[in-house]
Structure 1
Amino acid sequence: MRLLVIIIILLFSCSTISYTQPTSDKLIRKGVSLHDKGRYQDAISYYQQALKANPSSMSATYEMALSYLHLKDYDNALKYSTKVINANFKPLLVDAYCVKSTALADMNKLDQSVKLLNEALERCGDEYLLHYNLGLSYFKAKNLKLSIFHLQKAIEIDTTHPSAFLLYAYVLSDSDRWIQSFLSFHFFLLLEPNTDRSKDAFGEMYDIITQKIPANSPRLTPEDGIDRQKIYDQLRTMQPKVEDQRFQYAYFEQASRTIFFTLSQMQNDTRKGMLWDFYVPIYTEILESGYFETYCRYVSVSYFPVSLEWWNNNTAKVDGFISWFEDGQGSTVDNEDDFGDDSDL
């Protein structure tokens, strides 16, 4: 009889555990869905219910921290992210460090944010998000040199995340490295061509190639072996005389071609670094692919309505470019005109 009672208790316990876990997971999924819609307080109520069902759920704890961060409730964001960190919950450890460091940075506790992220690197190893967040914290602290270092590390680890390229572009611009900033904005727009921040990024990039730089400015001195004065003079001679988007687009395309071609001609085995090992080979390949105009239309769709119109009217070229890019480049077409009629500028 005693054995039967024990079996019944064990069966009841197992059924309770199996019931609690799916219930908790379902509540978390509902909360995440609400979070993604910007309903952060509603999301938190579901995470609280999930924690009642399963008090040890680190997933619910982390999601609480993230939603509180979006609500700018930094004390609670710190509280719940610290719980995940202290629990050493590996699946969400890096993310928890990022939430906690962001909360600290937003509270203007930049030294603590940097210290925490360096601790995270020692504990978790080289992770894209940790280096990115370090780059962001150093940028806010106006330490541009270390910001550049960590953003480059983030990009080396993962070249598919647009945010690193976007922040890298801004940091380079603030460091007066405007040509490399221009290239980084380009790559961000290649990864993320048509969002709200894409339009802002394109505007910043366009300002770079239309800026008026005073004579003898440090911004015209050589940059990593690039004769910036020569490129600047070339850009000045081709700038549009009227503020019409069709002429502005044409100038953007011509300026991009000029910068890409100039850098490709300078490429050799002695030049090292992200500029020469990453950006220049990619843009040289795009320049020689036969899809250069299509590419320029692609990265400018958020800014120029004429580019979006062109994109919609030239589906064959678009499909060809996308296939070429997704296949890892390496193949070219003889002439873009083979893919149908161009619309006018």
Structure 2
Amino acid sequence: MKFLLTLTIGLLFTVTLFGQEDRINELVKRGIELNDQGKYAEAVAKYNAALEIDINSEFATYELSYTYMTMGQYDNAVRYSKKVIKQNGSHLHEAYVVLGSSLDMLGKSKKAVDVFVEGLALFPNSNLLNYNLALTYYKLQNYEKAEVAAINAIIAKPKHPSSHLALSTIVQAKEEQIKSLLPLYYFLMLEPNSQRSKINYIKVREMLIQGVTQKDEKNVDMKIVSDTSSSNEFSGAEMMVSLRAAARYAAANRNKSDMQIFVESTRGIFSILGEMKKDKTGFWWDIYVARFNDLVATNNYEAFCYYISKSINADEVKKWIADNPSKMQALMDWMNK
């Protein structure tokens, strides 16, 4: 009888625990839905209700920290993400991202760097930790370390558009034109049609004519944009960009549309860089140069240029895409390889 009583109590206790866990998961999942809808206060209420059932619920604690960060309540985000880190559970990686990002937003960027570095010691291949570390180093104007972190973020997740965008911004601060241009092209390939795509597409077009102005029909002013320092392996290509920009005003190009000139300029840059590559290896040559030169080699560069131009919603772009389905399909096949 005593054995049966003990067994019954044990079963009831187990059922109660499972019931509580189900209820916690239900509350947290509902909180996540509310967070995604922008109903942050209601989401927080759901997480707190879950924590009333189990104050040590890592799931609820992490989601609470994330929502507080989203709300801009960074002190609370720091408080709860630190608790998740101490718990050392399944949300440890995400907690380091929230803690570091929140500290950065509080103006404690050096402490944020320490958090990201600590997190990367545990998760060295984390795209988000490397990406946020890059942004923080950029804020601290440590562009060399920011570039390394952004590159590591891309290596960890090559299809993360924001990492390419961050790398472009970082090397632009170092005044390296080609290095800034290549990640922008890659970003637009991954994200061709969004509000930030349009902004950065315009930036690409502006960079292609940087330093060149037409005084009148016969005279063009050209300032060669080139960093000839020994550390810049793309200085020769930067000079060629300026020369090609001046060529747009040549008589042979006067009847060409801006899109046609953009296509030819892009092809020229990719071809020049491909010729420069030869036996060169490394991140910039392998991730960007080799792939973009292959666009030329496979005759996909024209479709690529129209594809990344979709954000401007121009009639010429839409017509070309509609009139060239086979070329667009070939580009899609190339990108999916």
TM range (shorter): 0.7 to 0.9
Q: How far off its partner does 1:126 sit?
A: 3.7
**Is 1:76 aligned to residue 83 of structure 2?**
no
Deviations 1:291-343 (A, max 9, x none): 222211111211243324543554443333223321x1xxxxxxxxxxxxxxx
Stretches of structure 2 that go unaligned for 5 or more consecutive residues are: 213-220
- Measured against aligned partners, the alpha-carbon deviations of 1:94-118 in whole angstroms (never above 9, x if no partner) come to 2111111111111111111111111
Preserved contact between residue 198 and residue 302 of structure 1 (Cα < 8 Å): yes
Q: When the two structures are superposed, what TM-score results if normalisation uses the length of structure 2? A: 0.88
Q: 1:108 to 1:24 in 2, by over 3 A?
A: same
Which of residues 284, 288, 302 in structure 2 aligns to 1:275? 284
| Structure 1 moving runs of 4+ over 6 Å | 213-218
Q: Partners in 2 of 1:73 and 1:101 — Cα distance?
A: 14
Query: For 2:82 and 2:57, how far apart are their aligned partners in 1?
Result: 14
Unaligned runs of 5+ residues in structure 1 are 329-345
Query: CA-to-partner distance for each residue in 1:213-259, whole Å, 9 max, x for gaps?
Result: 79777745363054122321212221699xxxx93333322221111
Which whole-Å CA distance do the structure 2 matches of 1:323 and 1:27 have between them?
A: 43
Q: Residue 221 of structure 1 contacts residue 229 of structure 1 at CA under 8 Å; is this kept in 2?
A: no
Query: Structure 2 vs 1, CA of residues 158 and 4 (structure 1 numbering), >3 Å: closer, same or farther?
Result: same
Q: Does 1:251 align with 2:250?
A: no
Cα–Cα, structure 1 residues 103 and 308, in superposed 2: closer, same or farther, change >3 Å?
farther
SS of the aligned residue for 1:15 comes to: helix
Q: Does 122-131 or 189-198 show the bigger shift? A: 122-131
Which stretch shifts more, 255-264 or 223-232?
223-232
Partner of 1:59: 59
Tell me how far apart the structure 2 counterparts of residues 303 and 16 of structure 1 sit (CA, whole Å). Answer: 58
Structure 2 counterparts to residues 31-110 of structure 1, below 5 A: 31-89=31-89, 91-110=90-109
Match of 1:174 in 2: 173
CA contact 1:166–1:188 (8 Å) conserved in 2 = yes
Counterpart for residue 236 of structure 1: 246
> 1:337 maps to which residue?
none
Q: TM-score, normalised by structure 1?
A: 0.86
Identity %: 28
SS in 1 for 2:311: coil
Determine if contact 1:168/1:184 at 8 Å carries over to the other structure.
yes
Q: Is the 8 A contact 1:69 1:99 kept in 2?
A: yes
Which letter maps to 1:258? G
Contact 1:114-1:137 at 8 Å conserved across structures = yes
Change in Cα spacing, 1:239 to 1:86, as seen in structure 2 (3 Å) is: farther
CA deviations 1:171-199 (Å, max 9, x no partner) are 11111111111110011111111222212
Distance 2:234 2:27 in 1: 57
Describe the SS at the equivalent of 1:115: helix
Contact 1:240 1:251 in 2 (8 A): no
Q: Which moved more, 1:62-71 or 1:230-239?
A: 230-239
Give me the whole-angstrom Cα distance separating, in 2, the residues matched to 1:293 and 1:237.
19
